[in-house]
Amino acid sequence: MKEGAFSLQNRELYYLTKKEKNTKARLGELRLAHGVVQTPVFMPVGTIGTVKTMSSIEMAKIGYELILNNTLHLFLRPGLDIIKEFKGIKNMIRWNKNLLTDSGGYQVFSLSDFRHINDDGVIFKDPMTGSKHFFNPEIVIDIQKIIGSDIIMPLDECTPTSVD
């Protein structure tokens, strides 16, 4: 493995391409299954799949290599059955580049009136339908695999600002 490279399962994923001595700023490449992402990077947010007001073609023309989707929102709408029909959200939105999915942990925090946390995970109530769904770290990772994420974020628990 080259100096400055980070790997996972013997595959080089991130390589530092340049370091600035005085400020410690750095440039790098994140090497993923659907292309190289230059870092630092701006990721457009497509919470429920698509980035508002932009097509996948427009995003590619601009040069975006990575977009962010939200696991909880995609689970609720359009739902896993529809995502499975398309064999992943990227096929559904016609995006052939990289995808990062966050875990939905922030929604568990911010929509606190719609959830109950216990030692096993979280029971989340869909604010639109009232249906209840159980999530834990393993389930959230399984959902992200179905979505077709290139970068999977684990379920986290956000703490309120009042916590010391």
The pLDDT assigned to 125 comes to 95
Contacts of residue 49, defined as CB under 8 A and 6 or more positions apart, other chains included, come to 69, 74, 78, 89, 92, 93
- Residue 146, pLDDT score: 98
Instruction: Specify the pTM.
Output: 0.88
Q: Are 40 and 31 in contact (CB under 8 A)?
A: no
Is the confidence at residue 6, as pLDDT, over 60?
no
If you average pLDDT over residues 103-115, what whole number do you get?
90
Given a cut of 90, is residue 79 above it in pLDDT? yes
- Cβ-proximal residues to 157 (8 Å cutoff; 6+ apart), any chain: 105, 108, 109, 117
23: left (phi over 0), alpha (psi -120 to 50) or beta: alpha
Phi, psi of 111 (to 5 degrees): -105, 50
What distance lies between CA 120 and its chain's CA centroid? Answer: 22
